Amino acid sequence: MAKKTFLERISDLTKISQRANFAKVDKHISELKYETHFEDLAAARFTCRSYTDRPVRLAKVNKILDVARLAPTAANLQPVHVWAITTPEALERLHKVHDAFGAPVVFMVGSKAEEAWVRSFDGKNAADGDAAIVATHIMLEAFDMGLGGAWIASFDPAKVAELFPETAGYEVSFLLAIGHPTDDAEPTARHYVRKSLEEFSTVL
Ligand SMILES: Cc1cc2nc3c(=O)[nH]c(=O)nc-3n(C[C@H](O)[C@H](O)[C@H](O)COP(=O)(O)O)c2cc1C
């Protein structure tokens, strides 16, 4: 039997519903039909930690950036900046921070706390949450294009600051590895572990 492409694999609804069963999510979730494109996307997404050498076209990188730009932020203050690392020189610098699983593109997402909305009641700053929303747009847009992605928060921010003076004044929260998954890229066992709907949420 011919090997399935990555796109064919991620759009395999049977597998998605098997995953839901495996995760022992509540009955009505496993019976969900995943009728909309977004539900398919959300169910099929997983962290990809294995990439081919195939480059990601700059047009795609720019499209991802443009979709990320549309992300909502608190009070629309947009305190977030994204650096797309694409050149061999920039990737070499990045690899001193993290190998990014060999991905050909890495988006760095940072924010400026002093430009973000602050809740008056308790002083909570929205910068990090805003960065996470922008990062989510990047990841889901990349996945929608048939690319794989991995969030990376486990890195030394001091090294990022030293190697990327371009980020001065920003706190970099996430590195997002993006690329074409290898044929054997699969979700880890951890991916399947999901809280039940009851544990995860409360309808009041
Ligand atoms: C904010 C955030 C930070 C993460 N940081 C890392 C990381 O540093 N290294 C890594 O291998 N995976 C990282 N991950 C991936 C998670 O481990 C992964 O999303 C989780 O285990 C669920 O698996 P799944 O994405 O395949 O569903 C991160 C994910 C998120 C959302």
* pLDDT tens per residue, range 37-91: 898 899 999 999 999 999 999 999 999 999 999 999 999 999 999 999 999 999 9
Q: Are 122 and 153 in the same domain? A: yes
Which residue minimizes the CA distance to atom 22 of ligand 1? 191
* Per-chain mean pLDDT for the chain: 89
The verdict on residue 62 lying in a domain is: yes
Question: How far apart are the CA of 198 and the centre of ligand 1, in A?
Answer: 23
Task: Kindly state whether residues 28 and 122 are assigned to the same domain.
Answer: no
- In sign, the C-alpha dihedral spanning 164, 166, 170, 174 is negative
Contacts of 21 (CB under 8 A, 6+ apart): 30
Q: Which residue's alpha carbon is at the smallest distance from atom 14 of ligand 1? A: 151
Report CA(101)–ligand 1 centroid distance (Å). Answer: 13
Say whether pLDDT at 24 is over 90.
no
Which positions ≥6 away from 98 have C-beta within 8 Å?
Answer: 152, 154, 155, 175
Same domain, 114 and 84: yes
For residue 51, being part of any structural domain is answered with: no
Confidence of residue 156 (pLDDT cuts 50, 70, 90): very high
State the residue range of the domain holding 62.
Answer: 58-179
Q: Which atom of ligand 1 is nearest to the CA of 98?
A: 8
Same domain, 6 and 65: no
The verdict on residue 137 lying in a domain is yes
Q: Which atom of ligand 1 is nearest to the CA of 132?
A: 1
Query: Does 153 contact ligand 1 (Cβ within 6 A)?
Result: yes
In a domain, residue 143? The reply is yes
Number of domains in the chain: 2
Tell me the two tokens of residue 165: 């003076």
The best mutation among 46, 101, 151, 173 to test binding of ligand 1, ranked by most ligand atoms within 8 Å of the C-beta, falls on 151
Q: Give the CATH number, domain containing residue 109.
A: 3.40.109.10
Q: From the CA of 130, how far away is ligand 1's center (Å)? A: 18
Instruction: Give yes or no: residues 71 and 106 share one domain.
Output: yes
> How far is Cα 163 from Cα 168, in angstroms, rounded to an integer?
10
Q: What span, in angstroms and rounded, lies between the C-alpha atoms of 31 and 40?
A: 13
Report the candidate in 156, 30, 65, 48 with the shortest Cα–Cα distance to residue 102.
48
β-bridge pairing 148-152 and 105-111 = unpaired
Same domain, 40 and 130: no
102 and 13 in a common domain: no
Would 142 be classed as within a structural domain? Answer: yes
- Do 8 and 96 lie in one domain? The reply is no
112 DSSP 8-state letter: -
pLDDT value at residue 35? 62
Residues 65 and 21 in one domain: no
Residues 159, 127 share a domain: yes
Of all residues in the chain, what percent carry a pLDDT higher than 70?
A: 82
pLDDT digits (tens, 9 = 90+) for 189-202: 999 999 999 999 99
Q: Which residue among 47, 133, 143 has the greatest number of ligand 1 atoms within 8 angstroms of its CB, and so is best to mutate?
A: 47
Q: What is the pLDDT of residue 7?
A: 53
Co-location of 148 and 91 in the same domain:
yes
- Backbone phi and psi for residue 132, each to the nearest 5 degrees, phi listed first: -65, -35
Instruction: Tell me: do 14 and 76 sit in the same domain.
Output: no
Task: Classify residue 84: in a domain, yes or no.
Answer: yes
- Give the DSSP letter string of 135-180: HHHHHHHHHHTT-EEEEE--S-HHHHHHH-GGGTT-EEEEEEEEEP
Atom 11 of ligand 1, residue of closest alpha carbon: 152
CA atoms within a 13 Å half-sphere pointing along the CA-CB vector of 203: 2
Assign 173 a pLDDT band (cuts: 50, 70, 90). very high
Q: Per the domain annotation, does 16 fall within a domain?
A: yes
Answer yes or no: is 49 within a domain: no
